[in-house]
Amino acid sequence: MQTIAEILEAAKAAGSIGAAGAAWQAAEDGTGLEAVRHRMHQTLAVMRDSIKDGLNPSLRSVSGKVGGQAALMNTAAQLPRFGMLSKACAYALAVAESNACMGKIVAAPTAGSCGILPGVLFAAQEEHGYGDDALVDALFCAAAIGRVIALQATISGAEGGCQAECGAAAGMAAAALCQLYGGAPPQAAHACAFALMNSLGLVCDPVHGLVEIPCVYRNVGGAAQAMAAAQLAISGVPCPIPCDEMILTMKDIGDAMPQSLRETGDGGCAACPSMCGRG
C-alpha cells in the first residue's frame, strides 16, 4: 500500500482504510490483528494523557514562550462558542504545548504536528460518544494515509516545509475523522486531499529554532483544516484533484521552497523583528 489508490483497493476487501491498515501492519509485523490493535490502543492512551498534561494551566516551556494557553481555550466560557471545533483546537494546542514542554507525545506524523490528530479524534469522541475501538480504527486509517505521504513525498519540515508536517497531519486527521463518521474509503481520500490542498505552501519557520512559535498554533489551524476537509468529503463533495496527485504536488512545492523557509529559522515568522531581536 504505497499509494492512496492501492489503499483504496485494499479497503474494498477489508471494508475500510483502517481495517486495511491494521491488516497490513499485522502482516508486516508477522503478528495477529489482536497484537497490533493492542499496540494502537496503547498509542491512543498516550495521546489521551498528552491532552491532559497539556491542559495544565501552569505548564511552561523552557523558553517560557508557550504553555498554559490551551487551558485558556478549554474553559466553560470558551468551549460552547464554536462547538466541537473549540475542543479540537484546545486539545490540539494542549498536545503541542505538552511537546514543547518536553512532555510525552505521539508523533503524528511528527512531534511538531503532534496535536492535530488527537485533538480532532478526542473532540469527536467526547462530542458523539465513540468508543476507543472506533478511535483505534481511525488511527489505523490515519497511519495508512501518513505512510503514503511519507513514501511519496515527505513528512519533514526541513525537507518540505510545514505543509509536510501540519499539512500531512491535517490530511491524516481528515481521513480518520471521515472514517469515524462512517464515510466510505473514497470519501476519506477526498478529505485528505482537501486538507493537503488547503495547506499547500505552508512554510516551516520556527522562531529561534524551537518547536514553539508558530508551531503550536499551526496545530490549532491544522485541526480546523482537518474538520473542514472532512465535512466537505462526508457531505459528498469530491476533491477535484486525486489525493495521490495532491501528495506529489505537495512534494513539488516543498522542493521549490527556499532553504530559509524549511526549518532553518531564517525566514517567515522567525525573521520577524519582534521575534529575532530586531524589533
pLDDT per residue of the chain (279 residues) written in tens, 0 to 9? 999 999 999 999 999 999 999 999 999 999 999 999 999 999 999 999 999 999 999 999 989 999 999 999 999 999 999 999 999 999 999 999 999 999 999 999 999 999 999 999 999 999 999 999 999 999 999 999 999 999 999 999 999 999 999 999 999 999 999 999 999 999 999 999 999 999 999 999 999 999 999 999 999 999 999 999 999 999 999 999 999 999 999 999 999 999 999 999 999 999 999 998 765
Q: What is the pLDDT of residue 278?
A: 60
For domain 4-270, the question of CATH label 1.10.1760 is answered with: no
* Residue spans of beta strands (DSSP E) within 60-200: none
All three cell numbers of 242, joined, read: 486525486
Going from N- to C-terminal start, the domains of the chain cover 4-270
Helix 185-197 and helix 17-29, axial crossing angle in degrees, nearest 10: 90
Q: What is the pLDDT of residue 172?
A: 99
Rg of the chain in Å (alpha carbons)? 18
Q: What is the pLDDT of residue 12?
A: 98
DSSP letters spanning 43-69:
HHHHHHHHHHHHT-TT---TTSSSSSH
Tell me which amino acid residue 22 is.
Answer: A
Q: What is the pLDDT of residue 277?
A: 72
Cell 495544565 found at: 56
The answer to whether residues 88 and 111 touch, using CB atoms and an 8 Å cutoff, is no
